[in-house]
Structure 1
Amino acid sequence: MSQQATPARPARRGRLARSVPLLIAAWLVLEIWLLTVVAGWIGWFPTLLLLIAGVFLGGTVIKRAGARAFRAAVELSKDPQSAQPQTGTSMTVLAGVLLTVPGFLSDLLAVTFLLPPTRALWRALGRRITGTVLRSTAPVGADRFADAMRLQEQLRIHRPDGKIVQGEVVDPPAGPAEPDTGYRPPIAP
């Protein structure tokens, strides 16, 4: 009896996953519009110099945040009790990345990650969103673990050439175990 694989329907994307491309496109349009407005005020050459300066400033911010995180890791490895927790490094690196992205809107957002009052607001917003997401997800239980294991088995039986090998796991019958004689058949080349 031959079983044919039914084509799997793609999983439906959530609201955020559907709107991310639209948000990115809107962000790019706003960046380009703001770039032309600033270039109209101060000229194209100074605008280009500002964009290049933002890239170098972003690299410097990332480098300093990385060095600070490295020093904290070294202190933690030397004496775990006396080391103080490092906070704000991820937001500083994100600010550096946003500064390296050409555009004035991303630079403005990066500045809000660097200033202490707005950084506290971003941190509170991040905690709130994280708490909401964690509360909305179902706890990992035996049923979710079993589903994950079944999915792993389904993914494992696909061969690299695209063919599907049908199979199932058969547990040995429960009964008295045969004594181990120590004999192992040789491995055939």
Structure 2
Amino acid sequence: MTTGAQPPSPARPRRSRLRTFLPLGLAGWLLLEISLLAMVAGASNGPVVFLILVAGAVLGTVVVKRAGRRAFRSLTETLQQQQGGSAPAPGPNSEGNGLMMLGGLLLIVPGLVSDVLGLALLVPPLQRAVGRYAERTFERKLRQAAQGSFGDAFQQARIHRPDGKVVPGEVVRDGSGSVPGDASPDPRPPLTR
């Protein structure tokens, strides 16, 4: 058995913050929902909790259905205006459908915290504020992603292999257009051997 120095293993990439804290956040949210439902059941009784959950699911279904109809109607109007040759004009019903659907989905999810968040997303001033915040965040992330190019990302992926080995070189073709040592009649060599 030899006792030589082993080559250092490549450093494991760091986990993103989202992948680190999302499971913890979901577990905490689930515990909070269960404890709040247990507190409400203790203060009243089981049928009241059941009625709250059913009412939230029914209201959420109605909200999602209404928002879906509004979004489909807006899409249909936009397509008709484009086919008619006129520029599509955003109507009053064309904004906020996504957040309205999110609010409805939060109402459908069983729990009191999700119901409160879902109802809050149905309030128009709060819906506009959340929409503006989400739009600014999305644009900022898009600008950050645009600073690098796909060519740079491809180059980095090719150079920094998991095993750490990089072999610089080039393919030399002879006059027939095939790779030396390749007996295939196809001028393009296979991608894998």
TM-score computed with the length of structure 2 as normaliser: 0.67
For 1:181, the equivalent position in structure 2 comes to: none
The 1:176–1:106 alpha-carbon spacing in structure 2 relative to 1, beyond 3 Å, is: same
**Contact 1:58/1:96 (8 A) holds in 2:** yes
**In the alignment, which of 40, 52, 55 is matched to residue 54 of structure 2?**
52
For 1:114, the equivalent position in structure 2 comes to: 122
- Name the CA distance, whole Å, in 1 between partners of 2:102 and 2:52: 19
The 1:38–1:63 alpha-carbon spacing in structure 2 relative to 1, beyond 3 Å, is: same
For 2:100, the equivalent position in structure 1 comes to: 92
Calculate percent identity across the aligned residue pairs. 37
State the number of aligned residues.
156
The runs of 5 or more residues in structure 2 that have no matched partner are 1-8, 162-169, 178-185, 187-193
Shift of 1:54: 0.8
1:101 aligns with 2:115: no
The runs of 5 or more residues in structure 1 that have no matched partner are 1-6, 155-168, 178-184
Task: In structure 2, give the amino acid aligned to 1:41.
Answer: A
For 2:183, the equivalent position in structure 1 comes to: none
**Contact 1:75/1:83 (8 A) holds in 2:** no
Task: In structure 1, give the amino acid aligned to 2:37.
Answer: L
**1:58-97 matched pairs, under 5 angstroms:** 58-80=60-82, 81-84=87-90, 86-97=94-105
- Name the CA distance, whole Å, in 2 between partners of 1:57 and 1:45: 18
**Contact 1:72/1:83 (8 A) holds in 2:** no
Cα RMSD (Å): 3.1
Matched residue SS, 2:29? helix
- Name the CA distance, whole Å, in 1 between partners of 2:132 and 2:74: 24
Matched residue SS, 1:79? helix
The 1:171–1:70 alpha-carbon spacing in structure 2 relative to 1, beyond 3 Å, is: farther
- Name the CA distance, whole Å, in 2 between partners of 1:147 and 1:41: 59
Shift of 1:79: 1.1
1:39-94 Cα deviation digits (max 9, x unpaired): 22231101101101111111111111111111111111111224425211110111
- Name the CA distance, whole Å, in 1 between partners of 2:117 and 2:68: 20
For 1:163, the equivalent position in structure 2 comes to: none
